[in-house]
Amino acid sequence: MTELSQDKGATDAPLIEETIGAYFDSACARYANSEALISRHQNDRLTYAELQRRVEALACSLMRLGLAKGDRIAIWSQNNVEWTLTQYATAKAGLVLVNINPAYRRAELEYAVNKVGCRAIILSPAFKTSDYIEMLTDLAPELNACAPGELKAAKLPTLKWVVRLGAAKTPGMLNFDDLLAGPSQAEREALAALGRTLKCDEPINIQFTSGTTGAPKGATLTHRNILNNGRFTGDAIRLTSEDRLCIPVPLYHCFGMVMANLGALTHGSTLVYPAESFEPLAVLQAIAEERCTTLYGVPTMFIAALDHPDFAKFDMSSLRTGIMAGSPCPTEVMKRVIDQMHMGQVTIAYGMTETSPVSTQSGVDDSIELRVSTVGRVHPHVEIKIVDTDGKTVPRGATGEFCTRGYSVMRGYWGDVAKTAEAIDGEGWMHTGDLATMDEAGYCNIVGRIKDMVIRGGENVYPREIEEFLYRHPKIRDVQVVGVPDQKFGEELCAWIIPREGETLTEAEVRDFCKGQIAHYKVPRYLKFVDAFPMTVTGKIQKFLIRDQMKQELGLSEARTA
């Protein structure tokens, strides 16, 4: 009888059935004098005991502001100590942390805050080309004339509290550091009492994923979801309390806040943030000077570090392991990571935000070939299967849709029962939209995508979202967005645009329309003005023909991944 493409993870290690706050306190007691977090660009180093002290103070302050269990509080910031303090403080206070992508602009911020009804936001003043305070005050000019906590903004009706990082004062906003003052004994007792009422299956985090309907969806994750996933991801690379993790990936994403932060917490490891965002030189310096044993990143990050002109000047010998995820890893890159960065136990992980995120991961003892050509095997306490269009499990080796079920599947999309039902079926299976195969040994390989998703440098981008935005331009009649190959980012966006009759449109006009409204990585790199799209007889647009024509016109070839 032919074996089917389905598998179950090991269950010998029981799931953690605690809240993040309770687990955090016990871990901090266990590793009190060990280094927990080193933020090199901030020159800040915290032991687990100091991390716990700051987190408790922040949690008490958030309660003092009147924020109550279940309230949503957004964070809009690059990587820093404050981000991690907020992650744990909100968990202890029973607040739902809403991750705002640092690349978001006004329209995206407005949508996210209103979609989930945020009562508070913590934000950095600015980052790269983004002036966060300017964008927020543009949306909520009422900040200029209100006291902190008394915001009544027409465009952001649920938002009351705004907390800014840094020492400067801004009308209508509190300063983050003022929330780190030592709490009273009564406040500590109130926080502890609240903690005892929290349950591990309650929502604790909302992460926005780009949607095919043109609007991001808020994947809602629980304590149980992300705490266990961080733990099992770390188990797979054999993390210990002696390990030091270099983390250049963004904290707003599951890669940073779950696989890195919670992975380190559950193993008593040390986190090292080399910079506020990815900088290859800062990564190399952090590894050498902090004697990091572990490095996380998407393949483009590893490529940038390996290709840095000063790479040979840095001692990489302390590295042992790490995780590559986000997009396929080219074979030669994996070989260079193992040979030149000494990461003999580096692994590949696969998942999605809706599954907390990891469902499969390669093992430290797997061959290089398996670690490049597959995304590993099923994680503990997770079930996977590959199904055909009728929902029937396909034989091993056949292609179908990758589905996963278990503790890691999200509670649902916030405020969107219909979209949740489309993604999670009646038996609890999350339908990923990814096409995959499974071999006789249970190793999975992602071979394509059912959905029209583009992965640019590890960022998931859905063309429909970009199309919906560009449709707003008064001169655009129709638009189709596809992904085309790119040697650096894996894929880049290309938009075919049909202008309205009698209108002329330039590339500069389109780019100016996007500027400040959507994240930079969502702005198409290639623009082509056309009279029509290739269509089937039934009127369906043939995007694959658009992609093929652009590959030919631009002389693009697929990034080699095997």
Range of weakest confidence among 116-130, 214-228, 447-461: 447-461
* pLDDT attached to residue 560: 45
Q: Which of 86, 92, 87 is nearest to 194 (CA)?
A: 92
End-to-end CA distance of the chain: 31
The Cα–Cα gap between 11 and 367 comes to 25
Task: Decide if 360 contacts 401 (C-beta within 8 A).
Answer: no
pLDDT at 448 over 70: no
* pLDDT attached to residue 451: 64
Task: Decide if 295 contacts 343 (C-beta within 8 A).
Answer: yes
Both structure tokens of 62: 């958030």
The Cα–Cα gap between 59 and 73 comes to 12
pLDDT at 15 over 90: yes
The Cα–Cα gap between 53 and 259 comes to 23
Q: Which domains does the chain have, with CATH numbers?
A: 6-11+226-406+423-449 (3.40.50.12780), 20-32+42-199 (3.40.50.980), 462-554 (3.30.300.30)
**Residues whose CB falls within 8 Å of the CB of residue 349, separated by 6 or more in sequence, listed in order:** 233, 236, 259, 323, 324, 325, 358, 360, 361, 362, 375, 376
The Cα–Cα gap between 343 and 489 comes to 22
The DSSP symbol for 261 reads I
Sign, Cα dihedral of 547, 448, 347, 241 = positive
Highest mean pLDDT out of 188-197, 370-379, 538-547: 188-197
pLDDT at 342 over 80: yes
CB neighbourhood size of 116 (10 A): 18
What is the β-pairing status of strands 490-499 and 526-529? parallel
pLDDT at 94 over 50: yes
Task: Decide if 227 contacts 235 (C-beta within 8 A).
Answer: no
What is the β-pairing status of strands 321-324 and 345-351? parallel
pLDDT at 197 over 70: yes
Q: Which of 156, 74, 87 is nearest to 123 (CA)?
A: 74
State the average pLDDT for the chain: 93
CB neighbourhood size of 487 (10 A): 13
The Cα–Cα gap between 358 and 349 comes to 6
Sign, Cα dihedral of 236, 237, 240, 241 = negative
User: For 457, phi and psi rounded to 5 degrees?
Assistant: 55, 35
> CA torsion, points 409, 415, 418, 420, in degrees to nearest 10?
-10
Scored b (16 or more CB within 10 A) or e, 450-481 reads: eebbbbbbbbbbbbbbbbbbbeebeebebbbb
Q: Which of 302, 297, 308 is nearest to 256 (CA)?
A: 297
Report which secondary-structure segment, H or E, holds 160.
none
pLDDT at 173 over 80: yes
The Cα–Cα gap between 38 and 151 comes to 35
Scored b (16 or more CB within 10 A) or e, 519-540 reads: bebbbbebbbeeeebbeeeeee
Both structure tokens of 331: 């074979």
Identify the burial level of 399 via C-beta atoms within 10 angstroms of its C-beta, where 0-12 means exposed, 13-18 middle and 19 or more buried: middle
Give me the mean pLDDT over the 165-172 stretch. 98
Task: Decide if 294 contacts 319 (C-beta within 8 A).
Answer: yes
The Cα–Cα gap between 497 and 480 comes to 7
pLDDT at 480 over 60: yes
* pLDDT attached to residue 75: 98
How many angstroms separate the Cα of 398 from the Cα of each of 359, 382, 431, 451?
Answer: 19, 21, 17, 19
Q: 444: helix, coil or strand?
A: strand
CB neighbourhood size of 152 (10 A): 11
Task: Decide if 500 contacts 508 (C-beta within 8 A).
Answer: no
* pTM for the full predicted model: 0.85
Confidence of residue 537 (pLDDT cuts 50, 70, 90): very low
What is the β-pairing status of strands 203-209 and 217-222? antiparallel
pLDDT at 218 over 60: yes
The Cα–Cα gap between 498 and 534 comes to 12
Q: 91: helix, coil or strand?
A: helix
Identify the burial level of 168 via C-beta atoms within 10 angstroms of its C-beta, where 0-12 means exposed, 13-18 middle and 19 or more buried: exposed
* pLDDT attached to residue 290: 98
* pLDDT attached to residue 1: 61
The Cα–Cα gap between 296 and 302 comes to 9
For 27-85, write each residue's pLDDT tens digit: 999 999 999 999 999 999 999 999 999 999 999 999 999 999 999 999 999 999 999 99
* pLDDT attached to residue 538: 42
How many angstroms separate the Cα of 352 from the Cα of each of 8, 221, 394, 399, 518?
Answer: 18, 12, 22, 19, 22
* 199 alpha carbon, distance to own chain's centre: 24
* pLDDT attached to residue 212: 37
The Cα–Cα gap between 212 and 282 comes to 36
